[in-house]
Amino acid sequence: MRLDSPPPTEPVPDAAEVVRRTAVADALLVADQAEAAAASDRVRPDVAAELTVIAEAAALQAEQLGGEYDSGLGDIVAERSGASPSATTPEHTPRAVLTSLRDAATRTRAAADQAQVGPLGRLLGSISAAQTRYAQDLARVTGARGPVLPPTEIPEPTEFSAEPSEAERAPATPASAEEGPTAVPTGLSAEELSALVLAEDTAAYALEVRAAQADGEVRTRAYDRARLHRARAQAWAVVADVEETDQDPRRVAYAVPGPDTATPDLARGLEDGLAQNYATLVGVAEPGTRAVLVALLTDSTLAGAQWGAPAVPFPGLPERA
């Protein structure tokens, strides 16, 4: 007597795979929508050019995330279950692309905070920063509403912030777009926090010097950004518990490039360096405590854009440039 084997079933993905697949699906949706929208005769040339850049970047992001998972059982399972392809067709317009980018950035940012694997969290954080930048660029050329930016306030440490809570350690829920209160990053060494304090303080000093030497819009922008970096250096010094101690790495003055380096070039380099610092720490910090690091990675990316930095698919990740 011959017994039939049970029908094949799709493997059940773990939490990390769910996060990865969701990010891939978001990126591929943006790529498909942007490519189709760019080909429309009703789209202005400048908008079409931006959409083409977005489509290429999103496709590359999906590839670096590992692409779509295919177990090889899809057709078999669909045939046995009688399932039919979805009749839903995504809209292919610049406004639809912008909506998809905004939604993807929010989901990917939340996933970066909660991902249990540090390197995946780092990659997701970079992609969410890029999606926010592309959404902002597309909103500008289309005159639409831009993305909602994540809060960048560095939380003050408390006696209860040494370890993430059980809720903070819970696996990510990619479909959720809500962002709760920001936790103090944990899992970072004293050396890593000290380096961050120094990087923020160095950027503040350099921009203060350039603000004093400039005038007009450059002066205002450099001065405002310098104040922000100075405040962040102070906040991270409090988190690191080195304020007014011998371990405080901040100095009275730092070396600043000479006039051969234009202020926009200097500022772009500073913001890119900070983006790399924050991206690195996203990959090190404990799950559930990365939100402010991802937000500051995004902030540095957008600040670089204001100084003329081109959009890239993986901000803060020089190895993927």
Which ranges of 65-189 does DSSP label H, i.e. alpha helix?
74-81, 94-114, 118-142, 166-169
Average confidence score pLDDT of the chain: 88
Tokens of 197: 């304090």
Cβ-in-10-Å burial (0-12, 13-18, 19+) of 19 comes to buried
CA torsion sign, 194 to 256 to 229 to 318? negative
Tell me if the pTM is above 0.75.
Answer: yes
User: 213 with 57: CB under 8 angstroms?
Assistant: no
Q: What letter would DSSP give residue 155?
A: P
Whole-number Å distance between alpha carbons of 54 and 311: 9
Instruction: Give yes or no for residue 249 having a pLDDT over 60.
Output: yes
Report the distance separating Cα 162 and Cα 61, nearest Å.
34
Mean pLDDT of 176-200: 84
pLDDT in tens, 202-216: 999 999 999 999 999
CA 93-99-104 angle, 5° bins:
125
Strand, coil or helix: 218: helix
Rounded to an integer, the average pLDDT of 80-87 is: 45
Q: Report residue 179 as tokens.
A: 């962002």
CA atoms of 321 and 314, how far apart (whole Å): 7
Q: Is the dihedral of CA 126, 132, 133, 135 positive or negative?
A: positive
Q: What is the DSSP string of 169-200?
A: HSPP-TT-----PPPPP-S--HHHHHHHHHHH
Q: What is the pLDDT of residue 72?
A: 56
Name which residue leads in pLDDT, 75 or 261. 261
Which two three-digit tokens encode residue 320? 């993927």
Q: In whole angstroms, what is the distance from residue 311 CA to residue 308 CA?
A: 9
Cα–Cα nearest to 292, from 153, 132, 112? 153
pLDDT tens column, 270-308: 999 999 999 999 999 999 999 999 999 999 999 999 999
Domains of the chain (ranges plus CATH)? 13-70+90-148 (1.20.1260.10), 181-314 (1.20.1260.10)
Torsion angle of C-alpha atoms 273, 188, 232, 271, degrees rounded to 10: 10
User: Mean pLDDT throughout 121-146?
Assistant: 98
The pLDDT tens digits of the residues spanning 221-246 come to 999 999 999 999 999 999 999 999 99
